[in-house]
Amino acid sequence: MRTFTLFIISMLSLNAHAFTLNSKDIQEGHPMAKTFEYSSWGCDGGNQSPQLMWQDAPKGTKSFAITAFDPDAPTGSGFWHWIALDIPNTVTELPRGANVKSLGGMETRIDYGTVGFGGACPPKGDGMHRYQFTVWALPVASLGLNADTPSAVVGFTLNKMALGKARLTTTYTK
């Protein structure tokens, strides 16, 4: 019984400093403001990426990646709204409208066909969509990918290599 109790206490202390993602701009389970809506494809928002900050990355983290993904897009495979890679491990916050390149990272092509952040733009009348903002802790300084790497390949690479990830899911309806 003593060993079991110590195991439970050890597990609780491991979770005391979980890898977390927070934002001053978006909140878990709440709708995003029009500031974060795309500015094309029938949408006319501000197309700014939200401010994001994270803490307690896993030991051994050498870089971060940030993704924004809509699993509810009527594509059969979701929709990638943002892929930022190779963000140095010294960066733990992105301001609203972040210039990832100026922070030492890079961005790849998203499903709008452009490189960089592309805001929410669900089809009119399609109901509520979820937008999953995820920060990935990675064991390498660079993934060795480029701006034209397909989003599915980036997603596969991140899922295979991540030491940990923290997610914030917000919503948007048009």
Residue 14 has pLDDT above 80, yes or no: no
Q: Report CA dihedral (165, 24, 53, 91) to the nearest 10 degrees.
A: 140
pLDDT of residue 8: 40
Q: Give the residue, 31 or 16, on which the prediction is more confident.
A: 31
pTM score, two decimals? 0.89
**Rg of the chain, C-alpha, whole Å:** 17
Q: pLDDT tier at 17 (50, 70, 90 boundaries)?
A: confident
pLDDT tens per residue, range 93-147: 999 999 999 999 999 999 999 999 999 999 999 999 999 999 999 999 999 999 9
pLDDT of residue 174: 87
Residue 18 has pLDDT above 50, yes or no: yes
Residue from 28, 20, 26, 70 nearest 49 by CA: 26
The SS3 assignment for 3 reads helix
Contact by Cβ (8 Å): 79, 52: no
CATH numeric code, 17-172: 3.90.280.10
pLDDT tens per residue, range 46-101: 999 999 999 999 999 999 999 999 999 999 999 999 999 999 999 999 999 999 99
pLDDT of residue 16: 54
Phi and psi, residue 35, nearest 5°: -55, -30
